Amino acid sequence: MAKQISSKEFKAEVLEAKEPVFVDFYADWCGPCRMLAPIMDKVAETHKVVKVNVDEEGELAGMFGIMSIPCVILFKDGKEAGRSIGLVPSTEILKLLEK
């Protein structure tokens, strides 16, 4: 299951992570975000996935230029390695690993 994090945890959980990390930027009121949640939970069975609520963590959303949600960013070695915007199947999310 994807873990909810705040800006306080972002550095340790994402930027300093040894493995690739999918960051799911979402909001509770967003229908497509709610539909993406079980897809991201499935991805979390085999990969590290964290969730960031853009309403609660606006500064983080701004840092990464989040203009549309849901937005999933893959981080490798502390840097953005790929991005997926909107409701997509898990196969599209996992394709980010190939870049």
1: nearest Cα among 33, 48, 54: 48
Per the structure, the count of domains in the chain is: 1
Q: Which residues belong to the active site? A: 30, 33
Please list, residue by residue across 58-83, b when 16 or more beta carbons sit within 10 angstroms of its beta carbon and e when fewer do.
Answer: eebbeebebeebbbbbbbeeeeeebb
Provide the residue range defining the domain that includes 64: 3-98
pLDDT number for residue 1: 86
Domain harbouring 78, CATH code: 3.40.30.10
pLDDT number for residue 99: 73
What global pTM score does this model have? 0.96
Measured CA distances, 70 to 5, 19, 31, 77, 84 (Å): 16, 22, 9, 23, 8
Per-run averaged pLDDT (10 residues), the chain, 99 residues: 94 97 98 96 96 97 96 97 96 91
Q: Which two tokens stand for residue 98?
A: 């190939």
Cβ contact 77:92 at 8 Å: no
